[in-house]
Amino acid sequence: MKVRIAVLGGGASGMMAAVTAARAGAEVLLIEHSDRIGKKILSTGNGKCNFTNRNQRPEFYRSQDGDFPWKVIGQFGFQDTLSFFQGMGIVPKERNGYFYPAGGQASAVLDLFRLELELLGVEVQCGIEIERITPEKAGGFVLEGRSRSEDDGRQRRIRADRVILACGGMAAPSTGSDGSGYGLVRQLGHRVTPVYPALVQLRCREGFYKELAGIRTEARVSLYIDGREEARDQGEVQMTAYGISGIPVFQVSRYGAEALAQGKQVEGVLDLAPSMSRKTLTQYFTAFSPQRYAGLLNKKLLSVLRKRYGDSPQGLAEGVKAFRTEIVGTNPFENAQVTAGGVDTRQIDPATMMSRLHEGLYFAGEMVDVDGICGGYNLQWAWSSGSVAGRHAAGQGG
């Protein structure tokens, strides 16, 4: 008799878990509480789906247990991901280590997942809200919930031999990641670490950002927490009416979000000319009159710099190399790309993604306390954790 597996969550990790388990011979039911599966995939990589990255290192993944993500990714890594997608018909296109479907459409990834689920006989039920999961003494689980349809609203009762929770986090709730899965996790006795928006914009105290809104400039962003540097990244920074945005800001944002929630002081320090030394900048400001400074930086940014740091060459050089700003918040989960925090990894076996509390209960994806940097790493975590959970739930642990 086939093992019956219920996968909760039709996002990237849930679809991967369902495909993997079905390929291993299990009978799979994929349950999604929104009206369709895979919504969040459509917005990844600016609609092009950056589905993995050639450059993989442990430090690109964050968790309270720093070793946990890499133990999982080591079982299904970059090459496995590439082979998986090529096997579904995706021709990969690489740009600086970033991989996309050759057609440049995230919808192609979703369409091929849907096709694969159909060919494998995976039953997909959307619009079903699971409200309780009860482990049975003899083994297996009973899932109770209801239809979210206003015309239906019927109670649902589903039995499964094994359950994979891939319910997502709280980032981009309009796609279905509304945090509702955490309630199920807590019912089952699992801990959930505090969750924060990650890969998100940072809000700053100073009022001058309204003058700077729309400016884009190359910069190195360093994040200081209670006076100590916690993270840094470099790339194009975008000034907004409320603060700072752009990839390097996203990369350090999760540390700021966590620190602010803990009541700590958070400061951003921007090096607005990372390719120039302070000495070279001082020489520049000494050699040229203020009318020529626009040859170095945006005029509006220069105006703010002169007001804050004065007109002396030394003062301006200091301002350019260490432009300080007080971080007072992040944008909300609606603007975040991913969730930091989640199901405590100490209660999950990284070799199988199975719960240490309930045999037959597995986890995958963003709802677990793992988040990656920008560049395809969060999707890589989804594929890796979904594959490991699906394979072991189906009984193919070798």
pTM for the whole structure: 0.95
Contact present, 337 and 172 (Cβ < 8 Å): yes
Distance in angstroms (rounded) separating the CA atoms of residues 394 and 21: 5
Write the DSSP symbol of residue 192: B
Pairing mode of beta strands 371-372, 61-62? antiparallel
Q: Is the dihedral of CA 367, 201, 256, 272 positive or negative?
A: positive
Report pLDDT for 397: 63
Alpha helices in the chain (DSSP H): 12-23, 68-73, 78-88, 106-119, 181-187, 209-212, 247-261, 278-287, 299-309, 313-321, 377-393
Contact present, 247 and 233 (Cβ < 8 Å): yes
Long-range contacts formed by 84-92: CB under 8 A, 24+ apart: 84/383, 84/387, 85/51, 85/109, 88/112, 88/113, 88/115, 88/116, 90/51
Find residue 338's DSSP bridge partners. 198
Report pLDDT for 152: 67
Report pLDDT for 85: 98
Distance in angstroms (rounded) separating the CA atoms of residues 152 and 154: 5
Report pLDDT for 148: 80
Residues in the chain with pLDDT < 70? 150-153, 397-398
Report pLDDT for 149: 72
Report pLDDT for 3: 94
Contact present, 290 and 297 (Cβ < 8 Å): no
